[in-house]
Amino acid sequence: MKIDEVRDEFARVQAQVANGPIVPHVTADEIRSYLTLRYDFKQSLPLEEVVADVEQMLQTWQVQVTHPRYFGLFNPSVTLASVLGDLLVAMYNSQLANWRTSPAANEIEKHTLGWLTDKFGLPPESIATFTSGGTEANLSAIVVALTQAFPSYGEHGLRNLPAAPTIYLTHEAHNGYNKIAHLTGLGRQALRIVKTDPNLKMDLADLERLVTEDRKNGFAPFMVIGTAGTTAAGIIDPLEEIARFCRTENLWFHADAAWGGAAILSPTLRQHLAGIESADSITCDAHKWLSVPMGCGMFFCRYPDRVAEAFRADISYMPKKTDLTVTDPLMASIQWSRRFIGLKLFLAIAHHGESGQIEMIEHQTRMGHVLREALSTSGWRIVNATPFPLVCFTRDGLSHTSFLASMRDRQIAWMSEAHVAGVHVLRACITSFRTTEAEIHWVVDEMNRLFEQESGQKSGQINSDQTMAVPPESSRVQEPIKQ
């Protein structure tokens, strides 16, 4: 593979994204009509022509999540090394269900996961696997926890259990647990919502109350989920206290660190994850804050025997194990056939090194602080408290939905809206290591200008300046990390 050619193409695409619009203006009917007219699949087309057309569609009809002013969900800018990883995986089409089929790929993943297992403070005998994302990792945790708590669950199912199992989490936890409760047969009512304190962290007194009441009423508590970086507001639950409580009450402690888990690498941030080393299982997504393409989730568990019991299978058509020191991924995960998910992370870490990964994480964290300070000093009210680069904010008189629409129409930035502690807010998360301080100040200035315009229109004032300013060229192309 000629890396220089891929590097040049990667740089071209990244520059084009950074200097172009963030938000598309297109309807579903427009795209459907375009595809219907050009692709009836009745005849072959030149590959170069189709690839160029698809690239044009992606450039034009997609929210550009790798844009430096995309301040939205956990969709990061990606590194060249990680893109090369996905390219290699597609070309060789490695199948990781069985160790014997892909020895090199399996060992590369094991090596990478072992490095992170150590960073999380889990014992070396722990087991870890790459997943499609956080939902699969969280589903894995619940299945393994059920297997641990109820030995008959695997063979006879939930109906054979003496009491209905219950799980404890806050309203700030990821809503995907509702889907998982449905999928596993636990039922959505098995989720017990624990109150939060004024900082939106799990209230341990309420957790104790709920567990006690459920046991008294004939339920079977078995699991507590502590979140390390909630989706809406970046809140970190009191992981150390949850760990102590779970040990005392014989409950499984799952740390959902899908986004915030990457902070374990940072000397300045890892203190906020204290207690995660005591978790029975951990979720962490590399495709959220380690700047690799989707999907690259990870599931960690300190009990390999419980994982083996949960995902065991008896098959005759796969190559037999010849080395007792290896584990076939199909016996340690929900997935059966599986692509070489971990190569993108391995290449990224190997290329940038631990210091490079730390630099990207801490740069984004600094930019989050810059955004928080710039908003606060210009009249916006910050409503969340987190060490991570996620800012929730509002101000009196703001029409959140229409304001966001105006921001997107003018290509100022892409942000989302959320409800935090009952307050309707704008939500901005720094997800790109290419975002600069100049870019953030420009965005805040434009937001202030837009708010003044919209406030003036509401009061009947006439404002002739309705055009979108263009960000300085330097702030659009500068990168904090050299590729």
pLDDT at 454 over 60: yes
* Chain center to CA of 255: 14
Tell me if 364 sits within 8 A of 431, measured CB to CB: yes
User: What is the C-alpha separation between 344 and 353, in angstroms, rounded?
Assistant: 14
pLDDT-derived band at 322 (thresholds 50, 70, 90) equals low
Q: Which residues, 6 or more positions from 37, have their beta carbon under 8 angstroms from its beta carbon?
A: none
Are the C-beta atoms of residues 244 and 207 closer than 8 Å to each other?
no
Least confident of 124-133, 383-392, 457-466: 457-466
Residue 236's DSSP bridge partners are 228
pLDDT tens sequence across 182-195: 999 999 999 999 99
State pLDDT tens for residues 129-180. Answer: 999 999 999 999 999 999 999 999 999 999 999 999 999 999 999 999 999 9
Which pLDDT score, from 0 to 100, does residue 113 have? 97
Structure tokens at 280: 């029975």
Model pLDDT, residue 458: 62
Helix, strand or coil, per DSSP, at residue 130: strand
DSSP reduced 3-state for 390: strand
pLDDT surpasses 50 at 286: yes
Q: What's the rounded mean pLDDT across residues 449-455?
A: 89
Q: Name the pLDDT band for 98 (thresholds 50, 70, 90).
A: confident
Least confident span in 94-103, 162-171, 229-238, 286-295: 94-103
Does the CA dihedral 329-330-335-338 come out positive or negative? positive
Q: Which helix (H) or strand (E) covers residue 476, if one does?
A: helix 473-477
Q: Where are the domains of the chain?
A: 86-346
Percent of the chain residues past pLDDT 70, beyond the cut: 93
* C-alpha to C-alpha distance for 430 and 426, rounded to whole angstroms: 13
The residue that leads in pLDDT, 467 or 46, is 46
Q: Which DSSP category does 394 fall into?
A: E
CA 450 to chain centre: 30
pLDDT in tens, 195-212: 999 999 999 999 999 999
CATH number for the region 86-346 comes to: 3.40.640.10
How large is the angle between the packed helices 134-149 and 176-184, nearest 10 degrees? 50
- The per-residue pLDDT for 331 is 87
Beta bridge partners of 427: 392, 416
Within 8 A by CB and 6+ apart from 79, the residues are 291, 292, 348, 351, 352, 481, 483
Phi first, then psi, for residue 481 (nearest 5°) are: -120, 130
- Cα–Cα dist 171/161, whole Å: 27
Lowest mean pLDDT among 226-230, 286-290, 401-405, 477-481: 477-481
**Sole residue written with tokens 């304001």:** 403
Cβ atoms of 414 and 67 within 8 Å: the answer is yes
Q: Please name the residues in contact with 323: beta carbons below 8 A apart, sequence gap of 6 or more.
A: 99
Average pLDDT of the segment spanning 434-458: 91
**Res. 464: pLDDT tops 50:** no
CA 405 – CA 402 distance, rounded (Å) = 5
Q: Closest by alpha carbon to 222, among 173, 174, 275, 169? A: 169
Contacting residues for 453 by C-beta, under 8 A, at least 6 apart? 463, 465, 466
